[in-house]
Amino acid sequence: MATVIMILMHNAASNNSISVGRKRTERSWLRQLDFTPRQHLVFILHGSSSLKTTNSFFISLDKGSNLAAYAEETLDPSLCWKDIAWLKSITKLPILIKGVLNGEDAMKAIEAGVVGIIVSNHGARQLDYSPATISVLEEVVQAVQGKVPVLLDGGIRRGTDIFKALALGAKAVMIGRPVIYGLAAKGESGVKQVIEMLKNELELTMALTGCCTVDDITRSHVKTEKERFLCKMQALPNMYYDFFAGGAEDQYTLEENTEAFRRIIIWPRILVDVSRIDMSTVILGHKTSAPIMIAPTMMHKFAHPEGEIATARGAASRDVIAGLSFTCKVVRFIQTFALKREITEHMVRQAESNGFRAIILTTDTPALGRRKADITNKMIAPQLSNFEGLLSTNFVSEKACAAETLDRSFFWKEIAWLKSVTKLPILIKGILTSEDAMKAIEAGVAGIIVSNHGARQLDYTPATISVLEEVVHVVQGKVPVLIEGGIRRGTDIFKALALGAKAVLQHLSKFNYHEEEREEWRSAS
């Protein structure tokens, strides 16, 4: 672990930091600094594997902008944990170590005798794809066990961010970029305004959460995203929760599906008569109360004993289209995959006889995506009674099910065959490019669903909302375009409609269950 020594001087009038490379022959700078009694000097060690940092500019004005050369000349890449003992031997000042991002390094820092730890990734200016500091704060706090204070550096923009950090165990936070931006805008006055803004926001947050002092802020005041999902899905065993919530490989696309929505801003309009709002729309000739459809997902009985029956009844009660069910008076679309012809034809015949109104052909599954959670949990596929007489109905794994049912040679010309065996309109699901959208139009489909399979197939594919407009543009209104993936709020639906979608498909696994339904599930389990 190479190390940089930073000096943080707390002065009644100012806060200054100086970053220097530690060379044992350069101890004299410690004695050359002229401190007033009001100043308190603290060493902060910043561990990193690559140390070309603009902080060096503060003591290298005569070097110009050649920071890389300066870093090479002054920084010592051989410096490691044992050198903290050397640093302690030449100063009586307390030492905080900055750059800790995991519990192991936190424990080593405690063993080395530092007086404080700063969780930091150097403002994301060193190693990219290192974790966000707030995401590892709690791990570090737990490893430290209160032996020294833990501070947080990085990502603080609001008073609520400070509150979250304190609730997760930080003693304080360090503010970087906001202060620089304030300084650039208004000098000393700008810095004061930034600090005052953060203090005011923190004070309001504390008031609204019933915290009179910072010591009153506890872990119970916050929940992480994972905890919120667990609260929503607490009726589910871990294996089933992971099945619904998980994505493929690194789950980049899974996160990007929702993050891409957050990057879209809504522009309001004023002085419009909105005393009556009509959310109804027509999809393939079927009127629905809102541009919302239940996405065709599998294994609903993992979530509730009534499975798809309860899903269909819920959809019927709210007058929206459901993706899959064999009961209830509700508009239903049947999902089929690129299956072997005899299986596909059997499903289509069943769907027609049971009153389904359309076929959703999911095309992004010539093979199953690699879903780590399902592999770890040794996920077992349930018995598929609807396929009795066609194939084995008791699979030991999804992989075995896919091997027996999926047709990897299925391609565009198969849509003509599918149209020849059914009169139901066909929507194609899995479109992510304008090229495939054009091919779908040429193949004569009745609708297009922009989807990446809930990020469960190929990771690092684009978020669906990010390619929606491209698909809508090439379709030119010839067929309706729907979108699936990343929908969490009504504002997300609004954004999708604004970008040209006719409706959205929502996975029920992303919503909460009513308490009585949880109790029913617990009893049934």
Q: Which amino acid is at 405?
A: T
SS3 content of the chain, % helix, strand, coil (to 5): 45, 15, 40
Q: Per-residue b/e over 433-461, b at no fewer than 16 CB within 10 Å?
A: ebebbebbbebebbbbbbbbbbbbbebeb
Q: Measured at the alpha carbon of residue 201, what is the angle toward residues 196 and 206, in degrees to the nearest 5?
A: 125
Is 453 an active-site residue?
Answer: yes
Residue owning tokens 């979250």: 164
Q: What backbone phi and psi angles, to 5 degrees, belong to 175?
A: -110, 125
> DSSP state, 19?
E
Place of tokens 């737990």: 142
| Residue 5: closest CA among 26, 19, 15, 24 | 19
Which helix (DSSP H) or strand (DSSP E) does residue 493 occupy?
helix 490-498
Q: Are 299 and 374 in contact (CB under 8 A)?
A: no
Cα 521 vs. chain centroid, distance in angstroms?
28
CA–CA separation, 18 and 22 (whole Å): 12
Catalytic residue from among 304, 346, 453, 473: 453
* DSSP E strand stretches across 75-154: 95-100, 116-119, 150-153
Q: Taking the C-alpha atoms of 155, 157, 162 and 164 in order, what is their torsion angle to the nearest 10 degrees?
A: -70
Q: Are 163 and 205 in contact (CB under 8 A)?
A: yes
Calpha distance 310→301 (Å, rounded): 9
Listed in order, strand segments (DSSP E) in 221-368 are: 281-283, 286-288, 292-294, 321-322, 333-336, 358-362
The neighbour count for residue 510, using CB atoms within 10 Å, is 17
Torsions phi, psi for 444 (to 5 deg)? 85, 30
User: Which residues are marked as active site?
Assistant: 453
